[in-house]
Amino acid sequence: MMNHEKTINLGNQVIEKLKTVFDPEIPVNIYDLGLIYTINIDDQSVAHISMTLTAPNCPVAESLPVEVKEVVSGIDGISGCEVELTFDPPWSKDMMSEEAMLDLGFL
């Protein structure tokens, strides 16, 4: 059974890494944009991430999930990463963090 504190620590590291991945069209990281729906870390330390894109025809539809998988897989203590792309619910700017909305002038 995985130590709860260790899981929280790994989860926080995953979030920190996700904040280094940017949508090329918007100068805000994908976490603060609200593109990450769920992060789960299982007993084998595999991160399961459900994410979306700002638009289904987004030019980075192929590369962004791969980049997420690569940065998360590189975390010490994470044994792997599964990324699921979903458009349900569709992304909207309401999903952005307050910080991202401020950065982009929406507040």
Taken in order of first residue, the domains within the chain and their CATH numbers are 4-102 (3.30.300.130)
Q: Whole-angstrom Cα distance, residue 52 to residue 67?
A: 13
Cα separations (Å) of 83 from 49, 54, 66?
Answer: 5, 16, 8
pLDDT per residue as tens digits for the range 35-90: 999 999 999 999 999 999 988 887 888 899 999 999 999 999 999 999 999 999 99
Q: Model pTM?
A: 0.91
